[in-house]
Amino acid sequence: MRKNILVIIASLALVALFASSCFNKEKGIKFDNLAIKEQVYLFADNDTTKPFANVEIDFTYPKNYKSKEDLLKLQKIFIGTFFDDMSYDSLSPKEALNAYFDKYTNDYRDLGNQYYEDISNLEGDNPPSWYWYQLFKSNKILFEDENILSYSVEHYYYEGGAHGSLSAIYYTIDLNNLTTITEESIFKPNFHHLLTERIVENLMKKYDVATPEDLLNEGFFDINDIAPNNNFWLNNQGVHYIFNQYEIAPYSMGPIEVTIPYQEIQSIIIPESIAGKQIK
């Protein structure tokens, strides 16, 4: 199972590697990295005969930027989107990472009492297998120029059951005002219908099918489920969407990515928006 998950994560990493090849590393934002790789034991005495959680967290964050004020704003966005907890907003990147890890450890160890209850209800000497957990969390820079910074936050967790869950969330920051971009900030009103059509059409190209209904034969749930979901990033080529597991297709298909070139949706892009500035 872990091998399959790492293959999916590696494929997402290749997207980041390809996109990052266009960066000018001598200018713009300078990044640093913090990482944790630990086995968190279910009990504080670190009894190796008891269950544990494999935890791997890899956090890339801005270390230098134009001014101290702008750097703090940018770090706040990264911390908020990576850890998804507003209580970390006032913390430094290292403090936020440690707080997140400590919370995960405490939450996991809160299961200890239930573990012994489950053992008492089982026959034989085999301990309950569903207490061996996994957590892999990372972010990757996808694109940067003078106007925008795009990145992904990837999160995999396993908490017993048949398989774990992998999700990726994309973000694009407007570097002119240090805010995150939404569909409403780059598309004209009533954009939904045309954008949906272009997403479906590009999925048809990706899976080499002739009609939207043919996507059902590829494993998609329902054509009506395929629609803009605000989970996208921008570069100088187009808008890149991702649909996570179970969103429009089964777990076995993994996260589904699709790119819509700017020229296909130029009519619904606000010309003065960040996306509009990317159109050559």
Residues 192 and 227: beta-carbon distance below 8 Å? yes
Percent of the chain clearing pLDDT 90 (strictly above): 81
Decide the pairing of beta strands 148-158 and 179-180.
Answer: unpaired
Q: pLDDT confidence of 21, banded at 50, 70, 90?
A: very low
pLDDT at position 28, please?
81
Mean pLDDT of the chain: 91
Does pLDDT of 259 surpass 90? yes
**In this predicted model, which residue has the larger pLDDT, 127 or 202?**
202
CATH no. of 1-179: 3.30.565.40
pLDDT at position 188, please?
98
Q: Please state whether 92 falls in left (phi above 0), alpha (psi between -120 and 50) or beta.
A: beta
Separation of alpha carbons 192 and 171, rounded Å? 19
Does pLDDT of 169 surpass 80? yes
With a CB cutoff of 8 Å and minimum separation 6, the contacts of 169 are 81, 152, 153, 155, 231
Separation of alpha carbons 140 and 274, rounded Å? 21
pLDDT digits (tens, 9 = 90+) for 234-256: 999 999 999 999 999 999 999 99
The lowest-confidence range among 2-16, 32-46, 51-65, 80-94 is 2-16
In the numeric block, the tokens 């091998």 are attached to 3
Q: Domain locations in the chain?
A: 1-179, 181-280
Separation of alpha carbons 39 and 133, rounded Å? 10
Which CATH architecture group holds 181-280? Alpha-Beta Complex (3.90)
DSSP annotation of 251 reads: G
Separation of alpha carbons 192 and 227, rounded Å? 8
